[in-house]
A and B are shown apart, each in its own frame.
Chain A
Amino acid sequence: MTLTISYQLFLEQFVQQLLNGLFLGSIYALIALGYTMVYGVLRFINFAHGDVFMLGAFSGLYLNKWLAPMLTTLPWPASVALVLVLSMIICGALGIIIEFLAYRPLRDKPKLNVLITAIGVSLFIEYTCQLIFGATQQPFPVLIPKSNIAGIGGLTVTNVQVIVLVTAFALMLGLRFIVMGTRLGLAMRALSLNPTASSLMGVNNGVVISFTFGLGSALAAAGGILYASLYPSIEPFMGITPGLKAFVAAVLGGIGNIPGAALGGLIIGVVETLVAGYSQSLGVPSGYKEGVAFVILILILIFKPSGLLGKVEREKV
C-alpha cells in the first residue's frame, strides 16, 4: 500500500519535473536556433546572441509600458501577440544592424577576430543596457493572466507555461517552414553548404546573412519574452547564462543543424530541471543545475563532437 503510493508520488514528481524541463527547454531551443543558424552561414559563434535575448525581454517591458493605453483595450491574447511580434521585429532589426556594423567588416578576416569581436559586442550591449535600464532587477509585467490548469493527479501546470510551450513550438514550426519551404530558406541552406557556389548561383550572400541574423535574433527576442513570462524579473545580464546554455544546446544537437538545436535545447532544459529536482536524492546542492549544461558540453566534446544530429560533411572531388 505505502509502496504504491510512494511509487505514484515518484511518478508524478518525475512527470512534473519533465514538464517543467520542457517549458524551460523550449526557450533554450529558441535561443539555440539563432546560434546554429548563424554558425551555419558564417561559421562562427555569435556570443552576443544571449544579449539579444535580454533585449527581447526589455523591449517587451517597454513596449508594454508605452503601448499600455492601447493594449488595455485589447483582449490579452492580442496584446501579448502584439508585444511579442513587435519585440521580434525590433530585435530582428538590431541583429541585422549588429552583423552589419560589427561582423561584416571582418568577413574576410580570420574567424578568431570575429569571435573576439562578438565578445566585445556582448559586453558593449550589456553595459550600455546597464547604463540605460539600471543594474537592478525589474519586474516583468504580467502579459498573460496566470491561472492553474487543473492537471491530472498532483501535477501543476499553469496556463503561462502552456502558452510558452505552444508559442515556442509554433515559432519553431514557422522557422522550419521558412528554411525548408521558401526560396530564401533554400538559399540559406545552400550558403551554409558552400558560400562560393551559392554566390555563383546568383545568391547575394550578404542579404542572406542579414536575413539569417534577423531571423535568429527575432527568435531570441521571443525567447526573452517567454522566459520573462516564466521568471518575471529582468536585468541587463540575464542573457548570459541562458545564452551559454543555449550555445551548449546547439553544440549538443550538432552545431549548424537546425532540428539539432531544437532537440538540444529541450534536452538541456529537461536534464537541468531533473538535476535540480532530484538534487537532494543525488546528494548535490541544487545550485549544481547551473553546471549541468557544461558537463554535457564536456561529454559531447569527448564522445561525439559533431553533436547528436550533426553530420560529418564530406565533399567529393
Chain B
Amino acid sequence: MLKIDGLNVSYGSIKALSGVSLEVQQGAIVTLIGANGAGKSTTLRAVSGLVKASGGTVFYEGEDITNSPPHVLVQRGLCHVPEGRMVFSNLTVLENLYMGGYRRKRDAKFKSDLDYVFGIFPRLKERLQQSAGTLSGGEQQMLAIGRALMSSPRCLMLDEPSLGIAPLLVKTIFEKIAEINRDLGITVLLVEQNANLALAASSYGYVLETGTVILHAPSAELRANPQVREAYLGG
C-alpha cells in the first residue's frame, strides 16, 4: 500500500531523516515509534508532501508519489492527520467535517460517511454548530479523525492521536482506530510516542532513532524485545 524507500529530509542544514525505509501492507495497522525529535512527524510530512524530500522514493499503491503536493494525495485516498490535530478553530464542527470532504461531491455516499463519523464519535453530532476551537482536546482529536474520514481515505496516517489527552479518552480513540481499520478496511500508519499503546494496537512496528530506522519487527516481538522495553516501554 505504502512503501518508503531511503527517504532523506533536511530542514536547512539540519538533517532530520537519513535513509528511512518502511512498508505498510494493505489493511494493516503499522506503527512508527521513537523519542522526541526522532523524525516521526517529519516522515509523515514528507510522505504527504508538506516537506520536500531531498532523496529517496515514496510509493503509494504501486505509484511513485515522491514530493506530490498534499491536495493531490488526499484525492488519491492518502490522508494525513497532523500532529496537534490542526482543526479549524473558528469553523464549526460541521464545517470542519465538510472541509474533510472538500474534494468530494455531497452525494449519498458523502451523507453516509457523515453518519458513520457520527456513529463512531457521537459527541461530534451533539456539537455540530459549536466552533471547533471550543472543543476539548479529546473532542478535537475525534474531529480531526472524523474530518479525515470524510475524505474517504484508503490509507490514514495518524500523528500522535494520544497527545495531550486523558488516558480514558485515549483508550476510546484507539478503539475507534481499530474499528475504522476493521470496518472500513482503511490501512493505518500510526505515529506514537506512547509505544505501549501503539504496539498493542498495531501488527507491525518500526523504531526510529535520530532519523534512521534502527529496528523493525512484528509488534508483539518488539514488545518482547529487551532493547525496546528499556528505551520505550519503561523497563
Contacts and interface: CB of A to CB of B under 8 A. Distances in A.
Do A and B belong to a common assembly?
yes
Interface of A: 183, 186-187, 189-190, 193-194, 196-205, 311, 313-317
A196 B82 contact: yes
Q: Which of A197, A200, A314, A315 has the most CB of B within 10 A?
A: A200
B91 A189 contact: yes
A202 B135 CA distance: 23
B28 to A, nearest CB: 22
Nearest to B70: A199
Contacts of B102: 183, 186-187, 201-203
Interface of B: 48, 50, 69-71, 74-75, 79-82, 84-91, 95, 98-100, 102-103, 133, 135, 137, 140, 147, 151, 163-164
Contacts of B100: 201
Given A186-B99, A200-B74, A201-B99, A315 B133 contact: yes
Closest 3 CB pairs of A and B: A202-B74, A202-B103, A197-B86
A189 B95 CA distance: 10
B71 A194 contact: no
Q: Which of A187, A193, A203 has the most CB of B within 10 A?
A: A193
B74 A201 contact: yes
Contact of A193 (B81, B88, B135, B164): B88
Contacts of A317: 84, 163-164
A314 B90 CA distance: 10
A183 B80 CA distance: 21
A194 B70 contact: no
Contacts of B147: 201
B99 A204 contact: no
A198 B50 contact: no
A197 B88 contact: yes
Nearest to B163: A317
A281 B174 CA distance: 72
A189 B88 contact: yes
B71 A189 contact: no
A311 B91 CA distance: 13
A260 to B, nearest CB: 13
Contact of A311 (B75, B80, B90, B98): B90
A110 to B, nearest CB: 14
A196 B144 CA distance: 13
Contacts of B71: 199, 201-205
B107 to A, nearest CB: 14
B70 A193 contact: no
Contacts of A204: 69, 71
Contacts of B90: 189, 193, 311, 313
Contacts of A315: 84, 89, 133
A186 B98 contact: yes
B123 to A, nearest CB: 16
Contacts of B84: 315, 317
Contact of B50 (A186, A196, A203): A196
Contacts of B87: 197
A125 to B, nearest CB: 31
Contacts of A205: 71
A108 to B, nearest CB: 11
Contacts of A189: 88, 90-91, 95
A221 B162 CA distance: 50
A316 B99 contact: no
B137 A316 contact: yes
Contacts of B82: 196-197, 200
Nearest to A205: B71
27 contacts: A186-B91, A186-B102, A187-B102, A189-B95, A190-B99, A193-B89, A196-B50, A196-B82, A197-B86, A197-B87, A197-B88, A198-B88, A199-B71, A200-B74, A200-B79, A200-B86, A201-B74, A201-B147, A202-B70, A202-B71, A203-B99, A313-B90, A314-B89, A315-B89, A316-B85, A316-B133, A316-B135
A200 B88 contact: no
B143 to A, nearest CB: 11
B151 A194 contact: no
A198 B140 contact: no
A15 B122 CA distance: 54
A62 to B, nearest CB: 39
A190 B88 contact: yes
B86 A202 contact: no
Contacts of B140: 316
B150 to A, nearest CB: 9
A186 to B, nearest CB: 6
A189 B89 CA distance: 10
B50 A199 contact: yes
A186 B74 CA distance: 18
A197 B99 CA distance: 10
Contact of A200 (B48, B133, B163): B48
Nearest to B76: A202
A190 B131 CA distance: 13
A201 B72 CA distance: 10
